[in-house]
Chains A and B, each alone.
Chain A
Amino acid sequence: DVKVTQSSRYLVKRTGEKVFLECVQDMDHENMFWYRQDPGLGLRLIYFSYDVKMKEKGDIPEGYSVSREKKERFSLILESASTNQTSMYLCASSSERGTLYEQYFGPGTRLTVT
């Protein structure tokens, strides 16, 4: 089974702190994604990566950056956390091999910024 793990389930940070969210997948997937999930808004794509050191902006990249130094690891960075970044953050991975395309999700990190 594909496994996607996220470094923390719950995180509380103060306004202005730099926050790192880590995601690791164990299925050699090329693609990795970071979403935020807010009630009534569904999943919104922040950034994605289709290869090591490659990144593409999603729909809401402002205030975030990402890093992918190794194929299995994709990090989301909040440069200076703000209260409006309080949310559930979901990491996912997928493969372009065959016609799979489905995304495999981690359990999520619930971030609270105070």
Chain B
Amino acid sequence: AQSVTQLGSHVSVSEGALVLLRCNYSSSVPPYLFWYVQYPNQGLQLLLKYTSAATLVKGINGFEAEFKKSETSFHLTKPSAHMSDAAEYFCAVRDTGGFKTIFGAGTRLFVKA
């Protein structure tokens, strides 16, 4: 079965610092990978997705992620954190066997002034 592992349930950075949220997946075939963001008291919204067109994927709000097949990783980065980036971030992989999406446990990002 497919799985997604997010390293670190909480990450804290200073405003202006690099944001790095880690995600590793298990998949025997080229996957569809996603990052979602959830702001307080809201549903999830898509940040970016990888669909094999390019290994470096740019998303909304200055975030990007790089697909590395050799490392089975899809880490999310942003060069300079902003206070408004404080949220929970979920990495996800489309299940190759059907319609489902497998979500990681989430990483809560804190941004310090």
Contacts and interface: CB of A to CB of B under 8 A. Distances in A.
Contacts of B43: 4, 90, 92, 105-108
A48 B105 contact: no
A48 B102 CA distance: 13
A101 B98 CA distance: 11
B103 A94 contact: no
Contacts of A50: 99
Interface residues of B, number: 21
Interface string A89-102: 01010101001011
B52 to A, nearest CB: 9
Q: What interface size band does chain A fall in? A: 20 to 34
Contact of A101 (B9, B42, B44, B101): B101
A101 B94 contact: yes
Interface of B: 9, 32, 34, 36, 41-46, 49, 51, 90, 94, 99-101, 103-106
Given A103-B101, A105-B44, 4 more contacts: A4-B43, A90-B44, A101-B94, A107-B41
Interface of A: 4, 31, 33, 40-43, 45, 48, 50, 58, 90, 92, 94, 96, 99, 101-108
27 contacts: A4-B43, A33-B100, A41-B105, A42-B90, A42-B104, A42-B105, A42-B106, A43-B103, A48-B99, A48-B100, A58-B100, A92-B43, A94-B99, A101-B94, A102-B34, A102-B49, A103-B44, A103-B46, A104-B46, A105-B36, A105-B43, A105-B44, A106-B43, A107-B41, A107-B42, A107-B43, A108-B43
